[in-house]
Amino acid sequence: MSQSRVAAEVARWRSDDDISIDHATLIESDADWLMPVKRLTLWSVKHPTDLLWRLPCLEFLDIRGGSGTSISQVARCPALRVLVVNQVRGMSDLGAVAQLSTLELLSLYGLPRVQNLPSTAGLPFLHRVELGSMKGLASIAPILEAPDLHELQLSRMVNLTSDDVTAIREHASLLRFGWYAEDVPDKVWKPVIEAVSKPAPVALRPETWLDQHPH
């Protein structure tokens, strides 16, 4: 059985343009049957670097698990609006996110090797950012460069500097800020919430974003 057939057989189609693939290897020719996909979830999936770039309809991408070190494969996705990167072992380089000029929601969770966040200064449509369990960060300053950021949701341990707190409070477009501080000492997160003094974002699952914000 070829790797292409394996990927096609394990793929779960949730609708005509929404697919989830779990523990498989995609090859170049798989781009043909993936062409209409708008929403794609990849659980520990290996694939050629240029495969995602060749999916013109791809608006939602959820990368989970695996052992990749870089997110470079998303750099040229032409229409990506939502990017989720969750618990990818070894992930350290998120620089390609800075090139996603169509991005609206960015959700990063469980990436302890990431020490530097990508600049969001060139992402004019980035409205919501979720950061969780990012223990390798010293600051979230690059995220706060987004010119039209509306909502920032933290969860579990995320390190903030005093300058970060000031920038969150004074950000010209940021309307909502919250912190699910499950494993964070009260003395760390409570002063931040008080200093920022903004209402918390509405809870949502990233996969619902496109439905709530249709083009």
Residues 113-141: tens digit of each pLDDT: 999 999 999 999 999 999 999 999 999 99
Distance between CA atoms of 78 and 74, rounded to whole angstroms? 9
Rounded (to 5) percent helix, strand, coil in the chain: 25, 25, 50
- Whole-prediction pTM: 0.95
146 has pLDDT over 50: yes
Residues 38/44/45/49 CA torsion (nearest 10 deg) = 90
What are the structure tokens assigned to 7, written together? 């990927």
Q: Which two tokens mark 74?
A: 């998303």
The pLDDT tens digits for 22-62 are 999 999 999 999 999 999 999 999 889 899 999 999 999 99
Tokens of 31: 């781009």
Residues whose CB is less than 8 angstroms from the CB of residue 98 and which lie 6 or more positions away in sequence, other chains included: 118, 119, 120, 121, 122, 123
**Is the separation of the CB atoms in 189 and 160 below 8 Å?**
no
Task: Fold for 59-212, please state it.
Answer: 3.80.10
Cβ-Cβ contacts under 8 Å for 170 (sequence gap 6 or more): none
Strands 151-158 and 39-43: unpaired
- pLDDT over 70 at 2, yes or no: no
Query: How far out from the chain centre does Cα 160 lie?
Result: 19
| Whether residue 4 has pLDDT greater than 50 | no
CA distance linking residue 115 with residue 110, whole number of Å: 12
* CA distance to 73, 107, 144, per residue, from 118 (Å): 15, 13, 10
Using left for φ > 0, alpha for ψ between -120 and 50, and beta otherwise, residue 52 falls in: alpha
pLDDT tens digits for range 77-106 = 999 999 999 999 889 999 999 999 999 999
